[in-house]
Amino acid sequence: MIAQLDRTLEGRKGLVVGIANAQSIAYGCARAFRSLGAELAVTYLNDKARPHVEPLAQELQAPIFLPSVEWAHQGLP
């Protein structure tokens, strides 16, 4: 689990988009936000990305894990 030294973002909620894998900048930001106490929602790009991002969302204890809006509405007018 992520070390909890400073709880500056305790009680705050955040949305992190663009996590592709454990090396993505978005994931690094999400880990920093979580370590400061933020509760996070995480989106993933598509079904191909989901297996890579889902374990990261679990590690971040993200209660919301959904496909990104662009992908979810693909093909709709």
pTM over 0.75: yes
Buried b / exposed e along 44-71 (16+ C-beta atoms within 10 A): bbeeebeeebeebbeebebeebebbeee
Pull the structure tokens for residue 8.
């500056």
pLDDT above 70 covers a percentage of the chain that reads: 82
CA distances from 57 to 65, 74, 77 (A): 7, 23, 30
Which pLDDT belongs to residue 30? Answer: 97
Terminus-to-terminus CA distance in the chain, angstroms? 42
Locus of tokens 């996070």: 40
